[in-house]
A and B are shown apart, each in its own frame.
Chain A
Amino acid sequence: SQQGEEDPQALSIQEGENATMNCSYKTSINNLQWYRQNSGRGLVHLILIRSNEREKHSGRLRVTLDTSKKSSSLLITASRAADTASYFCATDDNFNKFYFGSGTKLNVKP
């Protein structure tokens, strides 16, 4: 299976701290994406990094990709209580099929 796996499964931090989540996958990819899901809601796209990119920024988000290690990390800086959610990585194959990990549940305490 190409499915990604996030680490840690759960993360609890204080508001203002940084949160780092990791994703590992098994086979070669075109792109890797990170999504956020608030409880009981649909997923919201955060950022896409292509296989030939190593780092990407969007606001308080920083994503890195290491294709040699088949891993990615998502850093959320200066976290807020509103960042409390589950975060998923997703990879795609050459056939427009996506694979999601089991997610990291982030709790930001005010």
Chain B
Amino acid sequence: DGGITQSPKYLFRKEGQNVTLSCEQNLNHDAMYWYRQDPGQGLRLIYYSQIVNDFQKGDIAEGYSVSREKKESFPLTVTSAQKNPTAFYLCASTEGAGETQYFGPGTRLLVL
């Protein structure tokens, strides 16, 4: 059963804490993406990676970090520097440049 999985579904962060969101794909896609979605809004690009061991900042990278050590995995860390992290986070992958993006089910991050 191919696709993208994200975990956890809900994540709670305490003040000053770093948290990591997981994204795994078994579609053999090279490119992977992280987006942030605020209520009633569209998607904003945080980071993307076109190949293993390489990634680029998106439009709102401040306060976030990523790694791409394996083709299948692209975890996102929300650091304590991100002052307003409450949002819905979506991971996606594509099979080629400009092709269809496949999305995971999302992780909702809430601040305690």
Contact = CB atoms under 8 A, between A and B. Distances in A.
B106 A97 contact: no
Interface in B81-112: 88, 90, 92, 94, 97-106, 108
Nearest to A51: B98
B7 interface: no
B105 A102 contact: no
A40 B42 contact: no
Chain A interface size, as a band, is: 20 to 34
A90 to B, nearest CB: 7
Interface stretch (A41-49, A62-70, A73-81): A41-49
A7 interface: no
By DSSP majority rule, is chain B's interface helix, strand, loop, or mixed?
A: strand
A40 B106 contact: yes
Given A41-B106, A100-B42, A92 B98 contact: yes
A44 B103 contact: yes
A99 B59 CA distance: 10
Interface of B: 4, 31, 33, 35, 40-45, 48, 50, 56, 58, 88, 90, 92, 94, 97-106, 108
Interface of A: 3, 30-31, 33, 35, 40-45, 48, 88, 90, 92, 96-103, 105
29 contacts: A30-B98, A31-B99, A40-B106, A41-B105, A41-B106, A42-B4, A42-B105, A42-B106, A43-B43, A43-B101, A45-B100, A45-B102, A48-B99, A48-B100, A88-B43, A96-B50, A96-B94, A96-B97, A96-B98, A97-B45, A97-B48, A97-B56, A98-B45, A100-B35, A100-B43, A100-B44, A101-B42, A103-B41, A105-B40
